[in-house]
Amino acid sequence: MNLSLALWLTQDAVVNGAVYALLALALIVVYTVTRVIFVPQGEFISFAALSLATLQNGKVPGTVHLLIATGLVVAVLDGWRMAKTRDFSRLPRLVLFNIALPLAVAALAWWSASRPTDVWLQVLVTLGIVIPFGSMIYRLAYQPLASASILVLLIVSVAVHYMMVGLGLVFFGGEGLRASIFPGFNFDVGILTISLQSIGIVLSSVVLMVVLWLYFGYTVYGKALRATAMNRIGSRLVGISTEFSGKLSFTLAALIGAISGILIAPITTVYYDTGFLIALKGFVGAIIGGMGSYPIAAVGSLLVGFLESYSSFWASSFKESIIFTLIIPVLLWRSLGKHRIEEEEEE
Amino acid sequence: MNPWLPVGGLVAVLLAAPLALSEFQIVLLNYIGLASIVALGLVLLTGIAGLMSFGQAAFVGVAAYTSAVLTTQYNMSPWLTLPVALVLTGTLALAIGAITLRLSGHYLPLGTIAWGIAIFYLFGNLEILGKYSGVAGIPSINLFGLELGGARELYYLIWLMTIGASIAVRNLLDSRSGRAIRALKNRVTMAESFGIDTARMKIVIFLYAALLAALSGWLYAHFLRYVSPQPFNLNSGIDYLFMAVIGGSGAVWGAVLGASILTLLKEWLKDLLPYLMPQSGNYETVVFGFMVVLFLHRTREGVIPYLTRLMPRKDKPRPSLEVAALPRRAQPEAGGTLLSIDQASKSFGALQAVSNVSFEMRSDEILAVIGPNGAGKSTLFNLVSGVLPVSSGRISFLDQRIDRMTGREAARLGIVRTFQHVNLMKNMSVLENVALGAHLRSSSGVVASSLRLERAEEARIMAEAARQLDRIGLGDRLHDPAGTLPLGAQRLIEIARALAADPVLLLLDEPAAGLRHLEKKALAALLNDLRKSGVSILLVEHDMEFVMGLVDRVIVLNFGQKIAEGTPREVQSNPAVIDAYLGGIE
Amino acid sequence: MSATLEVEKLAVSYDKVEALHGASLRVDKGSIVTVIGPNGAGKTTMLAAMMGLLPSRGAIVYGGRDISMMPVEARVDEGLCLVPERRELFSEMSVEDNLLLGAFSRIRRGAGKIDGDIEEIFTRFPRLKERRRQLAGTLSGGERQMLALGRALMAKPQLLMLDEPSLGLAPRIVRDIFHVIASLRSSGVSILLVEQNARAALQVADYGYVLELGEVVLEGPAASLVTNPRVAETYLGLAGAAD
């Protein structure tokens, strides 16, 4: 292997690793706050990338219809609950977020489909489509089960994953799509050719991580989410409701998924089920971080990126086996450091 | 209702089924049987023991491929490849289990996803396994000259094994090992303190589940006569878990029911949806996912627990006491030094919970440790019972160092405890909870239990448990779920369970809390009786009145330190003690 | 005097076991009421039910309205606040952030600046000011209790429920904590105090209830309970021997 190849593989590794690190962050936030192992995280990626590509093809993606329908279901369910308790103080919010917002996004999407060259509008519409799904999915699938065991929540996650992958296939078909955001421009640094796209990805990931770091460290709502992850009872006692933190963490997950999807759309052909495999690698990163430590998970995600990139060169057909076997020594290392700490959950 | 009635009914229906059903329906039934066997392992692993695995499909695949390769390339008979497949899968399970089972909570399912995927990709990339195109031309099974080539012929073998495996798992759950397995879920500390090797038990049932998966895989290979990686991917692993959860992961028949519901649902959706939504197919997974979510919103525990609630409860008969008693250990000579604590300390980070506490205890003594809340009494208890290791100092029991021992090792020496926060298995009967205490006085293993070869010993355990329950006055509540008794009674059950372990030193953590006046009197009388029979008792208590009338000596702790020691009367008039307890705010 | 809280026949069950069998009590506006009783009597259960952490039967009337169906967070919005036995602090956050989140319910409903409120807490507990940047998990037992109290006060509660505030604390610290509790009365906060340290509790309280095995077995003005022979014998523990 020569130096330029090594550098090229490294570039690949860093680009992928940056995306995995973002996903690992989303998975950790959702898990620590709600105890949900969020398997469908990858579907946000697919939905975003494919919606973007569809808009660029001048069509309105099916995810828009799904957004309107899901919003309606939420509005009906919560409206029913309000009618039963006769407390309509939150009705305007409900209508705004679950009916007005999806309709506005749909209008924008319809307009955007007629302007195939307006990339930033497409990105905006894509974000507008995917992000609201976060809190809607939490509301419909998880909120009624907030007190259930981790196993039940995990099973629900898998079922939601099935639904979303199935819908992805319905909306986008089995063919892969590719979008373009940054102009395809390469430049040479010494012997290495760097594409503008890969710089865009790494830069965007870093910016997003810094923004999230500021959010969690310096805003009341970010702190409230961290508080929920640390101490569920304590956070309820200061008035942070399970519903609030659940919806907020899922919204963040959707945001991260949407941005990841937009970032990878130009560099790889995305199929309806591509997101799942990408998110699984984010999982590997998150597991390395013990589903709790974000910095370790970020390093772990980079490690996954390197392993993937180099093993695809040396042993491409065993690439996936190698990456997923990597978890086992990591688990071993984690288990050695742990002495008889057993979470005694009440039945 | 006779527990064998549904089994008998099921067997009859299954026997008659092939006469009435079409070839296609038989094939479906075969798939249900194959899936049931795997789901059974998950009932044990996930439902009962709380260990989640998404990787069972990989085990099915290992066995299927083993038999496929050996029969097609080495012309081995399927009956020879069955043991090979079992051994190979078992070895793999032991290796994977040794690593991943040490992890609790969320690590385990994620770990199983990881190796499930890794093994799947291995299937698809190994030359010898035919890569993604798989292995074809697998021979059928020949049973005493009878060629089990078609679905109809294999049907009987598959269901024979399904029923057999169900009965074996059911037997296992209703045994000494079964009680230990149930304690793996959220009750590890308690189980260890009664001598159950929980780490080993986890490996054993992981192996058990893997072997069931292997059996299914072997049948699968010779049923389809062709294997490829696809049926052993993560999705299949997920489906098996779905089956167990939907059927009711805590019940054996839940596996068969869950496998039936899921297999039929998928089939039905495949048939029905194209009619409902003809424009673009493939809504199956969407509707399937939707139904699973809806289902879990309605009933989290699965179908079987829901059905059982509808049926009247029928208790087993009272265990007969006319059996040989379990062996008892020799009690140490009265009056000698039993327990000696020398400068024991325990700190948690900056908090010094117990600091330099020393005292001795004679055998046949009742000694109380008292002190205000947060004084370090429970921590001291955990040090003596091996739940926590000391930070410094030494603790000896009958001249043997125990300060670094685990709870399990301490239990072997006869140090048995109760827990301040009642630590019973709430859904298990009172009798079974107490029977768990006798774990170390019996020895039957998983295999004997599955095959019901341990009934004689089981009867002796049950008799012992019933005897101890009679002793504490709960002999009329044997078959009630422990969680339905009042808290005071639950504390007494804890004591009965400890007594079933035949203790030398009995550690009681606030036994009188929550008891009414008369109950306290009865408890005091019981403890006095025990002392007469040679058992030494160390108790932590808050209730002064109870302690004063009962114990020989009192140790007083405050802020982790011993501030007084002596007879109850001496301690009562000790100014330091009065200050610790009554230190008002003036 | 008008009642801040009136609890009628409150019952709580775990699984199928009833841990609290129809306890009734009343807290008047601006008064300190204490509930004493031995371990396992159901004191903590009762507080958890009033706060909405456990489902219960019976009526919990607060400010003239039955709140027994409200979720915890809504009760916080209404001015109920619980300092639990285990404190439940955010251990990996600074003292200051813990206090800030104490006001979360007010911030969410649009309270503006709360820096002044944090300063007020610091005046009440100077120790916390010294440690404002320290992580809550590194505090000593007494400081943790002060932080728990401070965090609760940040919500500007009308009814403060304290579960064993003296638990595991040195006598000097217990004294400090009880002085703070007594001083809160003058600021108009009603307090429901659950304590094992019966003597200290009865010294600051106006009225007391004795809970035993999930039932109120005795009640009366605090001064009369201190001299009640039954209380002296059972709950003041060694009192008889001491005199």
Taking the CA of residue A211 as centre, how many other CA atoms within 13 Å lie in the half-sphere pointing to its CB?
10
Residues in chain B with CB shorter than 8 Å from the CB of A159 are 242, 288-290, 292-293, 296
User: What is the pLDDT averaged over residues C54-66?
Assistant: 90
Residue B280: pLDDT band with limits 50, 70, 90: low
Interface touch C93/A226, C-beta < 8 Å = yes
Q: Please identify which residue in the block is written with the tokens 């999915």.
A: A137
Residue-level pLDDT at A175? 84
In one letter, which amino acid is A145?
L
Residues in chain B with CB shorter than 8 Å from the CB of C233 are 545
Over the stretch B490-538, which tens digit does the pLDDT of each residue have?
888 999 999 999 999 999 988 887 777 778 888 899 899 888 888 899 9
The yes-or-no verdict on residue B305 having pLDDT over 70 is: yes
Residue-level pLDDT at B106? 66
Interface touch B582/C238, C-beta < 8 Å = yes
Helix/strand/coil for A32 = helix
Residue B585: pLDDT band with limits 50, 70, 90: very low
Nearest residue of C to residue A243, measured between CA atoms: C73
**B8, B26, B32, B2: which is closest to B247 by C-alpha?**
B32
Residues C37 and C24 both lie in one domain: yes
Q: What is the percent of chain A where pLDDT is above 90?
A: 42
Nearest residue of B to residue A161, measured between CA atoms: B289
The C-alpha atoms of residue B219 and residue B212 are separated, in whole angstroms, by 11
Does residue C81 sit at the A interface (CB-CB below 8 Å)?
Answer: yes
The C-alpha atoms of residue B284 and residue B307 are separated, in whole angstroms, by 28
Residues B40 and B99 both lie in one domain: yes
The C-alpha atoms of residue C124 and residue C184 are separated, in whole angstroms, by 10
Query: Which range marks the domain in which residue A282 is found?
Result: 3-179+193-336
Residues within 8 A of A (CB atoms), C 16-35 only = none
The C-alpha atoms of residue A338 and residue C77 are separated, in whole angstroms, by 40
Over the stretch C149-186, which tens digit does the pLDDT of each residue have?
999 999 999 999 999 888 777 777 788 888 888 888 88
User: What is the pLDDT averaged over residues C198-206?
Assistant: 87
Residue-level pLDDT at C99? 96
The C-alpha atoms of residue B32 and residue C140 are separated, in whole angstroms, by 59
Q: Which of B485, B501, B517 is the last residue of a domain?
A: B501
Total CB pairs under 8 A between chain A and C? 68
Residues B488 and B507 both lie in one domain: no
| Dihedral over Cα of B135, B141, B145, B151: its sign | negative
CA dihedral A168, A169, A174, A175 (to 10 degrees): -30
Nearest residue of C to residue B547, measured between CA atoms: C237
Total domain count, chain B = 3
Cβ neighbours, 10 Å, residue B413? 17
Residue A344 lies in a domain: no
Q: Which of A154, A171, A293, A319 to mutate to test the interface with B (most CBs of B within 10 A)?
A: A154
The C-alpha atoms of residue B88 and residue B74 are separated, in whole angstroms, by 16
Residue-level pLDDT at C235? 60
Residue-level pLDDT at B130? 79
Sheet holding C65-66, edge to edge: C17-28, C3-14, C57-62, C65-66
Residue B446 lies in a domain: yes
Q: What is the percent of chain B where pLDDT is above 70?
A: 95
Residues C50 and C166 both lie in one domain: yes
Q: Which of B185, B204, B233 is the last residue of a domain?
A: B233
Residue B311 lies in a domain: no
| Per-residue exposure over B461-477, b if at least 16 CB sit within 10 Å of its own CB, e if not | bbbbbbbbbebbebeeb
Residue B95 lies in a domain: yes
Nearest residue of A to residue C157, measured between CA atoms: A238
**Average pLDDT over chain B, rounded to whole?**
86
Interface touch B186/A345, C-beta < 8 Å = yes
Residue-level pLDDT at A345? 39
The C-alpha atoms of residue B584 and residue C204 are separated, in whole angstroms, by 11
Which residues are CB-neighbours of C65 under 8 A, at least 6 positions away? none
Residue-level pLDDT at A340? 39
More reliable by pLDDT, B541 or B503: B503
Residue B258 lies in a domain: no
**Across the interface, which of A144, A155, A328 has its CB nearest the CB of B114?**
A328
Radius of gyration of chain C (CA): 18
Cβ neighbours, 10 Å, residue B98? 13
The C-alpha atoms of residue A130 and residue B561 are separated, in whole angstroms, by 60
Residue A334: pLDDT band with limits 50, 70, 90: low
Query: Which range marks the domain in which residue C134 is found?
Result: 88-154
Residue-level pLDDT at B582? 54
The yes-or-no verdict on residue B451 having pLDDT over 80 is: yes
Residues in chain B with CB shorter than 8 Å from the CB of A328 are 96, 99-100, 111, 114-115
Residues B47 and B177 both lie in one domain: yes
Which DSSP helix (H) or strand (E) runs through A187?
A: strand A186-189
Q: Which tokens belong to B331? A: 């009690």
Residue-level pLDDT at A18? 92
The C-alpha atoms of residue A132 and residue A73 are separated, in whole angstroms, by 13
Q: Which tokens belong to A120? A: 């930033």
Q: Please identify which residue in the block is written with the tokens 């052909």.
A: A269
Residue-level pLDDT at A341? 39
The C-alpha atoms of residue C143 and residue C162 are separated, in whole angstroms, by 16
User: What is the pLDDT averaged over residues A31-53?
Assistant: 92
Residue-level pLDDT at C234? 63
Residues C170 and C231 both lie in one domain: yes
The yes-or-no verdict on residue C242 having pLDDT over 50 is: no
pTM score of the predicted model:
0.83
Residues B354 and B494 both lie in one domain: no
Residues in chain B with CB shorter than 8 Å from the CB of C138 are 350
Helix/strand/coil for A118 = coil
Residue A184: pLDDT band with limits 50, 70, 90: low
Residue C238: pLDDT band with limits 50, 70, 90: very low
User: The complex's ipTM?
Assistant: 0.91
Which residues are CB-neighbours of B86 under 8 A, at least 6 positions away? B63, B211, B214, B215, B218
Sheet holding B366-370, edge to edge: B415-417, B505-509, B536-540, B366-370, B553-558, B561-566
Residue B253 lies in a domain: no
Residue B299 lies in a domain: no
Q: What is the percent of chain B where pLDDT is above 90?
A: 34
Residues B454 and B570 both lie in one domain: no
The C-alpha atoms of residue C88 and residue B263 are separated, in whole angstroms, by 46
Residues B523 and B535 both lie in one domain: yes
Q: Which tokens belong to A246? A: 């659940």
Burial of residue C72 (number of CB atoms within 10 Å: 0-12, 13-18, 19+)? buried
Interface touch C71/A241, C-beta < 8 Å = yes
Residues B483 and B347 both lie in one domain: no
Query: Which range marks the domain in which residue B229 is found?
Result: 26-233
The yes-or-no verdict on residue B250 having pLDDT over 80 is: no
The yes-or-no verdict on residue C3 having pLDDT over 50 is: yes
Q: Which tokens belong to B361? A: 């205890």
More reliable by pLDDT, A116 or A300: A300
Residue B314 lies in a domain: no
Residue-level pLDDT at C239? 38
Quick check: B16 and B244 in contact, CB under 8 A? no
Residues C142 and C161 both lie in one domain: no
Domain CATH number, residue C32: 3.40.50.300
Residues in chain B with CB shorter than 8 Å from the CB of A320 are 117-118, 121
Strand C159-163 with C80-83, pairing: parallel
**DSSP codes joined into one string, C157-222:** -SEEEEE-TTTT--HHHHHHHHHHHHHHHHTT-EEEEEES-HHHHHHH-SEEEEEETTEEEEEEEH
The yes-or-no verdict on residue A234 having pLDDT over 90 is: yes
Residue B327 lies in a domain: no
The yes-or-no verdict on residue B553 having pLDDT over 80 is: yes
Residues in chain C with CB shorter than 8 Å from the CB of B350 are 138, 140
Residue-level pLDDT at A123? 92
Which DSSP helix (H) or strand (E) runs through B563?
A: strand B561-566
Residues B493 and B509 both lie in one domain: no
Angle at A87 between CA A82 and CA A92, to 5 degrees: 75
Residue-level pLDDT at A149? 80
DSSP state for residue B108 in the 8-state scheme: H
Interface touch B544/C238, C-beta < 8 Å = yes
Quick check: B234 and B172 in contact, CB under 8 A? no
DSSP state for residue B233 in the 8-state scheme: S
Over the stretch B4-46, which tens digit does the pLDDT of each residue have?
676 678 778 888 888 888 888 889 999 999 999 999 999 999 8
Helix/strand/coil for B475 = coil
User: What is the pLDDT averaged over residues A123-152?
Assistant: 91
Residue B281: pLDDT band with limits 50, 70, 90: low
Residues B116 and B196 both lie in one domain: yes
Residue A342: pLDDT band with limits 50, 70, 90: very low
Over the stretch C114-155, which tens digit does the pLDDT of each residue have?
889 999 999 999 989 999 999 998 888 888 899 999 999 999
Residues B583 and B438 both lie in one domain: no
* Least confidently predicted of A96-100, B263-267, C27-31: B263-267
Quick check: C114 and C154 in contact, CB under 8 A? yes
Does residue B541 sit at the C interface (CB-CB below 8 Å)?
Answer: no
- Beta partners for residue B227, in sequence order: B135
Domain CATH number, residue A131: 1.10.3470
Q: What is the percent of chain A where pLDDT is above 70?
A: 91
Residues C233 and C120 both lie in one domain: no
Taking the CA of residue C173 as centre, how many other CA atoms within 13 Å lie in the half-sphere pointing to its CB?
15
Residues in chain B with CB shorter than 8 Å from the CB of A317 are 125
Residue A250 lies in a domain: yes
* Least confidently predicted of A109-123, A324-338, B544-558: A324-338
Q: What is the percent of chain C where pLDDT is above 90?
A: 43
**B390, B385, B405, B387: which is closest to B355 by C-alpha?**
B390
Residues B490 and B515 both lie in one domain: no
Over the stretch B116-141, which tens digit does the pLDDT of each residue have?
888 888 888 887 887 888 888 888 88
Q: Which of B233, B267, B290 is the last residue of a domain?
A: B233
Total domain count, chain C = 2
User: Subunits that touch chain B (at least 3 Cβ pairs < 8 angstroms)?
Assistant: A, C
Residue-level pLDDT at B197? 92
Domain CATH number, residue B351: 3.40.50.300
Residues B37 and B126 both lie in one domain: yes
**B511, B492, B356: which is closest to B430 by C-alpha?**
B492
Total domain count, chain A = 1
